[in-house]
């Protein structure tokens, strides 16, 4: 038999390999366009109506987690206890972005589950979410003191992600020359 | 000639410049929002434009497109805005650049390869076809003698 008679079989094996690799990819997790980029400018209402608006400037100054959540989001309920625990243990500033939600639902949700957030922006129509390239909730951004986005985690926050990704990024941070 | 060219450019670009400053009427905004939305991919449903998708995020993206159109952005500026947020993925028609060359030109590559393969095999077939019409010159002296002998035997029987 000539090598040509093996060709269909070789093509078949090749296709299986391509499809196999394709199955392990996660096309719904878009890479963030903002890694090592400053937080885009925004100003948005506070979830608590009598508190001042939340702006992109609010996010710089210290290491900050920006957590996109909503009372409608199931995975957010799963990750929520960990955010509360993280706040208690590390004291890191956590800013929430209440996404596509209603105020009464969000307030009731926080009442029930606890509030680990220092400040919460109310993004009813995805203006900030789209500006940040958010595709789903929860998503958690790590923002350094200069207001530069260092990492975006899609899905629930958990101890493993925190210890393996976020902690090293914070510990290895060196302030840019000239910064106070 | 140059002046005429310049004039026509000036005339052509004038309405565009004018339209940006003037108040846009609702029908135009709606039409342009629709057109732009067709070129933007819904980022949560993979294979629909935000014009076709009922996903809530697509709804909000359409709203944002409309807001930006109303604010005076050009179509390309709106697309560029979405592209900085979501990357090339958000464009239904990905830009031609080195990382997408394979995507854009693989059809040409396949057709070109097929064409080369076809021409080569056609030539081979043609060569085989002419090879079967053997003339006297194609036989060796030995074969010629054998042929002669067979024909002689036939003739005598």
Averaged pLDDT, groups of 10, chain B, 157 residues long: 47 46 78 93 86 90 93 92 90 87 91 94 85 64 87 82
In a domain? residue B27: yes
Q: How much is the ipTM here?
A: 0.76
In a domain? residue B145: no
List beta partners, residue A152.
A141
List beta partners, residue A67.
A96, A140
> Across the interface, do A33 and B56 touch by the CB < 8 Å criterion?
no
In a domain? residue B105: no
| pTM beyond cutoff 0.80 | no
Which residue range(s) make up the domain with B75?
12-95
In a domain? residue B90: yes
Picking from B46, B61, B87, the nearest residue to A130 by CB comes out as B61
Q: Please compute the mean of the pLDDT values over residues A124-138 and round it to a whole number.
A: 91
Q: How far is B37 from chain A (nearest CA, A)?
A: 14
Q: Please compute the mean of the pLDDT values over residues A130-141 and round it to a whole number.
A: 92
The yes-or-no verdict on residue A137 having pLDDT over 90 is no
pLDDT band at A34 (very low <50, low <70, confident <90, very high): confident
What residue ranges define each of the domains in chain A, with the CATH number in brackets? Answer: 33-171 (3.40.30.10)
Share the mean pLDDT of chain A: 91
Q: How far is B16 from chain A (nearest CA, A)?
A: 27
pLDDT of residue B131: 61
pLDDT of residue B4: 52
Q: How far is A34 from chain B (nearest CA, A)?
A: 8
Name the strands in the sheet holding A93-99, side by side, starting at the edge strand that comes first in the sequence.
Answer: A37-38, A148-154, A139-143, A64-69, A93-99, A119-123
Instruction: Return the residue matching tokens 């680990």.
Output: A116
List beta partners, residue A149.
A37, A143
pLDDT of residue A179: 52
Task: Quickly count: other Cβ atoms within 10 Å of residue A80's Cβ.
Answer: 23
Better-predicted residue by pLDDT, A31 or A4: A4
B86 contacts in chain A (CB < 8 Å): 30, 33, 133, 135
If 0-12 CB within 10 Å is exposed, 13-18 middle and 19+ buried, where does residue A146 land? Answer: middle
Q: How many domains does chain B have?
A: 1
In a domain? residue B156: no
pLDDT in tens, A40-73: 999 999 999 999 999 999 999 999 999 999 999 9
In a domain? residue B137: no
Tokens of A159: 């101890």
CATH number of the domain encompassing residue B69: 1.10.8.640
pLDDT band at A111 (very low <50, low <70, confident <90, very high): very high
Query: A152, A137 in Cβ contact below 8 A?
Result: no
Picking from B43, B46, B63, the nearest residue to A125 by CB comes out as B63
In a domain? residue B85: yes
pLDDT of residue B9: 45
B57 contacts in chain A (CB < 8 Å): 126, 129-130, 135
Q: Please compute the mean of the pLDDT values over residues A14-29 and round it to a whole number.
A: 85
């Amino acid at each position: 038999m000539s090598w040509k008679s093996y060709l269909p079989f070789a093509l078949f094996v090749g296709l299986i390999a391509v499809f196999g690799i394709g199955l392990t990819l996660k096309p719904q997790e878009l890479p963030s366009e903002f890694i090592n980029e400053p937080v885009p400018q925004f100003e948005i209402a506070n979830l608590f109506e009598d508190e001042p608006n939340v702006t992109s400037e609010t996010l710089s100054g210290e290491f900050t987690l920006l957590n996109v959540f909503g009372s409608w989001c199931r995975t957010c309920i799963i990750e929520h206890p960990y955010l509360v625990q993280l706040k208690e243990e590390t004291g890191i500033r956590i800013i929430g972005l209440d996404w596509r939600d209603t105020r009464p639902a969000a307030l009731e949700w926080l009442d029930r589950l606890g509030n680990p957030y220092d400040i919460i922006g109310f993004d009813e129509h995805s203006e900030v979410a789209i500006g940040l390239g958010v595709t789903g909730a929860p998503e958690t951004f790590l923002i350094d003191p200069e207001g530069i986005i260092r990492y975006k985690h899609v899905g629930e926050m958990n101890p493993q992600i925190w210890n393996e990704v976020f902690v090293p990024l914070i510990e290895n941070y060196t302030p840019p020359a000239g910064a106070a | 000639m140059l002046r005429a060219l310049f004039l026509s450019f000036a005339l052509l670009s004038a309405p565009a410049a004018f339209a940006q400053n003037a108040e846009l009427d609702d029908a135009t905004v709606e039409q342009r929002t629709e057109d732009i939305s067709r070129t933007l991919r819904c980022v949560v449903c993979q294979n629909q434009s935000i014009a076709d998708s009922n996903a809530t995020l697509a709804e909000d993206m359409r709203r944002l497109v409309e807001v930006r159109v109303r604010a005076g952005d050009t179509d390309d500026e709106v697309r560029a805005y979405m592209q900085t947020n979501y990357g090339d993925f958000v464009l239904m028609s990905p830009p031609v650049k080195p990382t997408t060359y394979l995507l854009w030109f693989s059809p040409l590559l396949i057709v070109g390869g097929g064409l080369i393969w076809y021409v080569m095999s056609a030539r081979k077939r043609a060569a085989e076809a002419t090879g079967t019409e053997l003339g006297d010159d194609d036989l060796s002296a030995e074969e010629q003698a054998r042929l002669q002998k067979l024909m002689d035997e036939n003739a005598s029987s």
